[in-house]
Structure 1
Amino acid sequence: MRAEFPELARHYYRANRLWSASYFAGSVGGAPLTVLRQYIEQQNRPV
């Protein structure tokens, strides 16, 4: 992934990994995919 997305390296150079050891599980209660996609796209992204 580092070869394909070199811009990621500057965000994770100290930990030397892309993901943390955290875990997430969630449910959307049958919401349509279009609604979920819109929600995700409107979330703030880290700088």
Structure 2
Amino acid sequence: IEVQLGVSEDGFTEVVLPENIHTNSTQVVIKGAYVILSKMNNSEE
């Protein structure tokens, strides 16, 4: 998903999701995303 950066303060940055993304029903990876991406790419072979 393409996100926009919002306000940054005290080492934290707001992430603004597109309007069509419903946070109640969408899972978003915030830690370990590279590992998941690598496994997904490896399973396609």
TM-score (norm. length: structure 2): 0.24
Determine which structure has greater relative contact order: mean sequence separation of CA pairs < 8 Å that are 6+ residues apart, divided by chain length: 2
Pair member with larger Rg: 1
